[in-house]
Structure 1
Amino acid sequence: MNILEVKNLSFSYNKAKIIDDVNFKVSKGELFGIIGPNGSGKSTLLKLLSNIIKGEDGDIFLLRKELSQYRRKDLARVLAVLPQSTEIGFEFSVKEIVEMGRHPYLENWQGISQADKKVIDKALKLTNTISLADKLINSISGGERQRVLLARALVQEAELLLLDEPTSALDINYQLEIFELLSRLTREGTTIVVVLHDLNLASQYCDRLLLLNQGKVNTIGIPDEVITLNNIKDVYGCDVEVDNSGRRPYVKLVTSNE
């Protein structure tokens, strides 16, 4: 079953084409990665999928319904977004920030129920942020905020998660921890679309990859089909080695000895 389907999607800014005739599908329970160099349109594509901005051409279908046809509250029950920025302008506690993810399920003036609290506590534990629950959100590090915002996305219990560089501020230990969590979530039926700069994380954990270049789809497929010497050279313009001796391809930069 396709959770997400994108057809002939295009978007321009100041007459410059940022996304150009993009087509792809994402199946239920898939961890789908979007990769490409800076300026390739990755974050713009995620904003289009999040309904933050509107495409000028093409269609986006979520659960076989046009994205534009969802009411805001209904959309928040099936789609959760983790943005790249972790900046928050108000001093809420970590627990209050995570609780906000339950708002799509609350009626007017309804408080957090015991069932909601169980969902919240589970998300705090999964993201290893339960020890931060009573701290103010802006008193913790950027990496900690990133994990808190992931917890907020998880408590929406959405069928589709859209994540923009979810591990960019995390050390290697937490990067692996978060991706192990994402893999577990997909095995349990959640569908995840993630924008990544790290080609090796993308290769190791994603079921399929979409390689963007100047707003266009260069390649879509399993990591072995996308992470190739020719693709990386063509799109990124740098010399690399691609090691295919392991389970997934591994990219190594070629450095000069001079």
Structure 2
Amino acid sequence: MQCEETMVKVEKISFGYNSKKALKGIELEAGKGEFIGLMGPNGSGKTTLMRCINRLLTIQEGLIFLADHELKTLNMMDIAKLCTTIPASIPDDFSLKVRDFVALGRTPYVTNWWWEGDEDEKIVDEALEEFKVSDFSGRRLNELSTGEKARVLLAKGVVQRPKIMLVDEPSAHLDLKYQLQVMESLRSLSRKGITVITASHDINLLTKYCDKVILLSKGEIVDYGSPHDVVNEKAMQEVYGVDVSLVTKGDTIFVLPMKPSEPPTDAEIVKTGQRGMLA
């Protein structure tokens, strides 16, 4: 899809934990209404990148812009008005009522100690209806199923009225029906103009729903583009260490993992001249 307005711009950022670099020279742009998926194995930097974009982590090099605002010039409330972060799950010991939890998404707009203005109430009610959680809005979070909690998290994110939505593992612990429902909801939000960036281990959900995907490995971007451009047998083997078969149905490419890739033998390394490169 063509996007005239850049909502997220990342310029050569790096971040590390102690002496270990978790992100190295990352560059990307996400336009208004784009749905972008972050893919890569554990430790590749997916969640770390999102935490840098919303400044939960402070980058050590480079620049980040949200809607043309340099990230380091914004306070946390300004960031919250531009960008919402949706975690993978709600802790089991959270016992707030659903409506009260969703209403917390209005916190960046609070001007009084008790915020419940008519406009806030209307926004919360609309989100409860949109994500079909109004019927159990009086129940407590620790009484809900995993699928119900996923919809509640989306409702809370939407009442924040963000321009950018960062979503971590949206399909985690969900059965097939709710995986698809959550991804359909995220794509619908992107079509309404919200820039959605999601990290997931489910490659097939990302290739099915996202406009673009970013393939990460060891803190670096391996490739960035449409799913058809990025997802191929060679890339999956090199990044995930798995031999795959690709199946195309309609406009969607699906990845079928076949077996772990065999590492090259010493003879193969010598023959191809890789030993010196790896030493």
Scaled by the length of structure 2, the TM-score of the pair is: 0.87
Alignment of 1:175 with 2:183, yes or no, is: no
Query: Which residue in 2 is equivalent to 1:212?
Result: 216
Deviation at 1:245, TM superposition (A): 4.7
Query: How many residues align structurally?
Result: 256
Alignment of 1:64 with 2:68, yes or no, is: yes
Query: Which residue in 2 is equivalent to 1:228?
Result: 232
In 1, the alpha carbon distance for the partners of 2:99 and 2:174 equals 20
Deviation at 1:90, TM superposition (A): 4.6
Deviation at 1:184, TM superposition (A): 1.4
SS at match of 2:38: strand
Consecutive unaligned residues in structure 2, runs of 5 or more? 261-279
After TM superposition, what 4+ stretches of structure 1 lie above 6 angstroms from structure 2?
none
Consecutive unaligned residues in structure 1, runs of 5 or more? none
Query: Which residue in 2 is equivalent to 1:116?
Result: 120
In 2, the alpha carbon distance for the partners of 1:70 and 1:89 equals 32
Does the 8 Å contact 1:126/1:181 carry over to 2?
no
Query: Which residue in 2 is equivalent to 1:153?
Result: 157
Q: Deviations over 1:186-223 (max 9, x none)?
A: 11111111111111100010000110000000000000
Query: Which residue in 2 is equivalent to 1:49?
Result: 53
Alignment of 1:241 with 2:222, yes or no, is: no
In 2, the alpha carbon distance for the partners of 1:153 and 1:32 equals 17
Q: Which has the higher contact order (CA 8 A, sep 6+)?
A: 1
2:19 to 10, 15, 18: 15
Scaled by the length of structure 1, the TM-score of the pair is: 0.94
In 2, the alpha carbon distance for the partners of 1:105 and 1:82 equals 18
Query: Which residue in 2 is equivalent to 1:188?
Result: 192
Q: Deviations over 1:94-119 (max 9, x none)?
A: 11000000111121224322222221
Q: CA RMSD in A?
A: 1.6
More deviation, 198-207/140-149: 140-149
Alignment of 1:33 with 2:29, yes or no, is: no
Query: Which residue in 1 is equivalent to 2:148?
Result: 144
2:201 to 197, 200, 213: 197
More deviation, 67-76/6-15: 67-76
Partner amino acid, structure 2, of 1:21: G
Task: Name the CA shift for 1:78/1:96 in 2 (closer, same or farther; >3 Å).
Answer: same
In 2, the alpha carbon distance for the partners of 1:52 and 1:132 equals 32
Does the 8 Å contact 2:89/2:149 carry over to 1?
no
Q: Deviations over 1:163-204 (max 9, x none)?
A: 001121221111111211111111111111111111110001
Please tell me whether Structure 1 or Structure 2 has the larger radius of gyration of its CA atoms.
2
Partner amino acid, structure 2, of 1:220: Y
Alignment of 1:82 with 2:86, yes or no, is: yes
SS at match of 2:186: helix
SS at match of 1:244: strand
SS at match of 2:171: coil
In 1, the alpha carbon distance for the partners of 2:60 and 2:110 equals 34
